[in-house]
Amino acid sequence: MPETLPLTRPDDWHLHFRDGGMLQGTVPATARVFRRAIVMPNTVPPVVNAGHAAAYRTRILDAVPAGVDFEPLMVIYLTDATTARDIAEAAASGIVFGAKLYPAGATTNSDSGVRDPAGIMHLYEALEKHDLPLLLHAEVTEAEIDVFDREKVFIDRYLNDIRARFPALRIVFEHVTTLEGVQFVRDAGELTAASVTPQHLMMNRNDLLVGGVHTHNYCLPVLKRRDHQQVIQQAVLSGHPRFFLGTDSAPHARHRKEAACGCAGCYSAPAALELYATFFEECNALDKLEAFASHFGPDFYRLPRNSDTVTLVRESWQVPDSQEMDGQPVVPWQAGRTLHWKVR
């Protein structure tokens, strides 16, 4: 087994920094390893246009440690009030790299999201025209739809039609969780890709529910059955170039995560690359890690691959039990677990 593993410096293609005081903790945790990150816009208030994105970007850059080279790739949040002009201005800004569709109520801070994904065809048309990728939280939200079926229903109800009507639109199926989602990406052609989280590679719904509810494994979209997990794993391990790293790292203060609300999100940033390396090694596929983490994402986003490197070394260490952010403890995902790879 190798003792060191050099990699082209990776990027994180789906990430939540939050805002305000939390940035002093979340930004350094990501920038220590990743050169770039697609930054989700579901802050409070949301990032709905290029001006908001520029201001948020400045706040993020102010939190980057001195001497660290890191670039936030901004995203705007689609609402029912978004206009084609908002999209044109975002695309022309040079700092916005996608537009995020949250169905209203689908996840954290999504109340301002789109009520009817079929009712914003003019926005998909504008995104296609300006070559700005559509980033999808691909779930329906109706209470009567089983939570484990919401991704499949979104594909059947909306996504097949969007893909067919806008053939030149780049689409990222964020945090794919189902065999139907994987199959959609495989079948939809070169302009459709998916980000894959460490939790959906390494866990299934047993890890959430067996022996009690494990709140720190709760995320949205929720973990699915083992057979769905296996299909995601197979897509990644096959080296398919349209499945790439996106942590969906999403911090919540401990008292909110361990409360009755059960806030959704796994804060994986403190150990993200090491967790992916653990998965690939357990599957005897460390040779596939670099392309997944460092090549496929920039290729799809039409950005250059990074020229610098990071090195993983074989070293045992424990994921911290807690990290203080904005005066509150935040529990990292897999807190207390001993890992055997560490970024030098």
Domains contained in the chain, CATH given: 9-302 (3.20.20.140)
pTM here?
0.97
Asked whether residue 18 is marked as a ligand-binding residue, the answer is yes
Asked whether residue 137 is marked as a ligand-binding residue, the answer is yes
CA angle 63, 66, 68 (to 5 degrees): 90
Establish how many alpha carbons lie within 13 A of residue 309's alpha carbon, considering only the half-sphere containing its beta carbon: 7
Q: Of 248, 299, 308, 321, which residue is the catalytic one? A: 248
Buried b (16+ CB within 10 A) or exposed e, 59-98: ebeebbeeeeebbbbbbbbbbeebeeebbbbbbebeebbb
Asked whether residue 175 is marked as a ligand-binding residue, the answer is yes
Residues near 302 by beta carbon (within 8 Å), at least 6 away in sequence: none
pLDDT of residue 101: 97
36: nearest Cα among 63, 83, 72, 80: 72
What distance in Å separates the CA atoms of residue 12 and residue 14, rounded to the nearest whole number? 6
pLDDT of residue 240: 98
Asked whether residue 220 is marked as a ligand-binding residue, the answer is yes
Query: Does 248 qualify as catalytic in the annotation?
Result: yes
Residue ranges in 72-189 assigned as alpha helix (H): 84-92, 121-130, 150-154, 160-165, 179-187
Per-residue pLDDT of the chain (344 residues; tens, 9 = 90+): 789 999 999 999 999 999 999 999 999 999 999 999 999 999 999 999 999 999 999 999 999 999 999 999 999 999 999 999 999 999 999 999 999 999 998 888 788 899 999 999 999 999 999 999 999 999 999 999 999 999 999 999 999 999 999 999 999 999 999 999 999 999 999 999 999 999 999 999 999 999 999 999 999 999 999 999 999 999 999 999 999 999 999 999 999 988 877 689 999 999 999 999 999 999 999 999 999 999 999 999 999 999 999 999 999 999 999 999 999 999 999 999 999 999 99
